[in-house]
Amino acid sequence: MEESSQLNNSQEGEQVAFSAKMANAKNMAIILKSLHFKDVATFFITENGLKVTVEDCKCIQANAYLKKNLFDDFQFNEESLVFKLNMNILMDCLTIFGSNTANVGVATSLEMRYVGYGFPLQIILEENGVITECSIKTLESDEILDFEFCNNEVVNKIIMKSEFMKEAFSEIDVSSELLEIAMSPEPPYFKLSTFSSFGSTHIEYPKDSDMVEVFQCTETTKNKYRTALLKPSYKALALSSKVSIRTDNRGILSIQYMIRTDDGQNCFIEFFCSPEEEVDDPCGIGDEQEPNVARE
């Protein structure tokens, strides 16, 4: 059993496929925590940075983009790399020294190393002179969904300050199975509706508020989404300062959250969600385009 640090054992200048350093591990931990709604996540590494993807039910996909400028050092020596990791283990490792920031002024530094295909992901954390080394087995990645959300086919787009959205989401009925999002160039411009056996609630939001930065709606759209699927996005909403909501011509929802880290860098988390098909939709619009949309 190896007692000494694994790092000491590797040779100087050994070429690894990927390595990165971050002065404050908390930045990464917080972002990945909002993606922690499934056991497994897929990691994509390119020369531009890291993308972490988590999916559920083939209807929702969350992506966290950690660009290379978020890191204090970022070395990448391949074309691209993909692997899967167990999220439960990863989060335990990233927060090994504790997940709260009780110790103000004490930062946990983070270093990641990936030798290459077939090797585990090594994560090294240091706090106050104590070092923890984690070696997490990587798994083969499966195909992930491509929602084919085309920027050219965006029908409606709203960019707003997150407080606005937080307020909106805090008022909706969480026991409702479905959430309907209506966006329109005409009033009501932005409306959230929930439905239950007792009736329905509708909340309307103005477009003229200074909370709304961009309002580009080309047509009236109404789409229903399963609230259970949207729930994981609330963690990202809580961290964010700005939010963009877009729907395309198939009703696919794209929510992008902009998060500002402690050192003033921006990073993004994006959620894609398929709309719930109307049961009485005779044409089955959207069937050909997204065979992955789940049916009730």
Partner 1 sequence: MRFRAKVFEISSIHELEKVVSTVAKLVNKTCILRLCKDKVYFISVDRTLSGMQVWCCLQQAKFFDEYSLEGVTAEANEIYLELAPDNLMRAFRSAHNAKSIKIKLAKKHVPCLTVEIDLPSRSLSARSLVHDVPVHVVSRRLWKDYEEPAMPACQVSVELPPLKTLKTVLEKMKNISHIVTVSANNSGQLNIKVETDLVSVATFFRHLAQPNMFLRGDREPDADKFFSVRVDIKKLALFCNSQHITPQRVICNVADKSMLHLYFTHPCTTIQCFLPGTAAS
Q: Which chain residues interact with partner 1 by CB under 8 A?
A: 1, 3, 5, 86, 88-89, 92-93, 95-98, 120, 127-137
Q: Which is nearer to partner 1, 5 or 77 (CB)?
A: 5
The residue (of 130 and 214) whose beta carbon lies closer to partner 1 is 130
The nearer residue to partner 1, 98 or 116, going by C-beta atoms, is 98
Cα separation, 290 vs 285, in Å, equals 10
Judged by beta carbon, residue 107 or residue 181, the one nearer partner 1 is 107
Write the DSSP string, 30-77.
Answer: HHHHTTTTSSEEEEEEETTEEEEEEEETTTEEEEEEEEGGGSSEEEE-
Least distance between partner 1 and beta carbon 126 (Å): 10
> Is residue 272 within 8 Å of residue 149, measured between CB atoms?
yes
By DSSP bridging, strand 60-67 and strand 266-273 are antiparallel
Rounded to whole angstroms, the maximal C-alpha distance in the chain is: 68
Q: Choose between 86 and 221: whose C-beta lies nearer to partner 1.
A: 86
Residues ≥6 apart with Cβ < 8 Å to 181:
191, 192, 222, 223, 224, 225, 245, 247, 253
DSSP-derived 3-state class of residue 274? coil
Least distance from partner 1 to the Cβ atom of residue 92, Å: 5
Euclidean distance between CA atoms 260 and 163, whole angstroms? 14
CA distance 96 to 125: 8
**Nearest distance from C-beta of residue 286 to partner 1, angstroms:** 39
Looking at the Cβ atoms of 98 and 187, the one nearer to partner 1 is 98
Q: Where are the beta strands (DSSP E) in 68-108?
A: 73-76, 81-86
The distance of closest approach from Cβ of residue 43 to partner 1 in the complex, given in angstroms and rounded to an integer, is 15
Q: Kindly tell me which of 96 and 165 has the beta carbon lying closer to partner 1.
A: 96
- DSSP-assigned beta bridge partners for residue 50: 45, 66
Structure tokens given for 270: 């994006």
Q: Min. distance of Cβ 171 from partner 1 in angstroms? A: 36
Cα→Cα distances 157→180, 254, 290, Å = 16, 9, 21
CB of 16 to partner 1, least distance (A): 18
- Minimum CB separation of residue 108 from partner 1 in Å reads 11
